Amino acid sequence: MTDFDALLSTLGRHEVAFLLIGGAAAIAHGSARLTKDLDIVYDRAPANLDRLVAALAAHKPYPRGAPPGLPFLWDRPTLERGLNFTLVTALGDVDLLGEIPGGGNYQDLLPDSIELRIFEVRCRCLSLRQLIRAKRATGRPKDLEALAELEAIADESSAAPYPLTNS
């Protein structure tokens, strides 16, 4: 099981610049659906890659589904050579995305994000509107139900004065 608390705390402590997306972002907005991993879009600035490496290094990141024993090095050059990484860590599954369809990269998404204060850290999360847009852009049949729930959350949020964040 993914330890969202510990993962978000370690990313926050290391001051990694990232945006919460996917199922975890949906939970932040009020989704009742289960999610197995933490999906984030991370800033690919070199200093941030160093912070990301430092944040996860102690938690043994490794490509998810890959056979054991591969010469996988968790360092900045590895991150620079790739873009999206689906990892298993000691704290659970983490998807690190350099960009997402229908949204772009960290810098593109940042203006349409909200700040969350959660588990003693501040982090940013895609706005509900941007999350819906991103889900639509993926166009995967398996996302239809999740998309329907996000749209229902948008309906409910506009109909009642519920806070979207806890800040």
Partner 1 sequence: MEPAPPSGYDPMVEAYKKDIDRTLIRENLKLSVEDRFRNAMALARFAEELRRAGREARERERKRKP
Residues that bind partner 1 (CB under 8 A): 1-5, 24, 27-28, 30-32, 34-36, 116-119, 132, 136, 144-145, 147-149, 151-153, 156-157, 160, 162-163, 165-166
DSSP secondary structure, the chain, as one string = ---HHHHHHHHHHTT--EEEEHHHHHHHHT-----SEEEEEE---HHHHHHHHHHHHTT--EETTPPTT-----SHHHHHH-S-EEEEETTEEEEEESEETTTEEHHHHGGGEEEEEETTEEEEEE-HHHHHHHHHHH--GGGHHHHHHHHHHHHHHHHS---SS--
| Smallest distance from partner 1 to CB 135, Å | 9
Closer to partner 1 by Cβ: residue 112 or 149:
149
| Smallest distance from partner 1 to CB 159, Å | 10
| Smallest distance from partner 1 to CB 153, Å | 6
Closer to partner 1 by Cβ: residue 53 or 126:
126
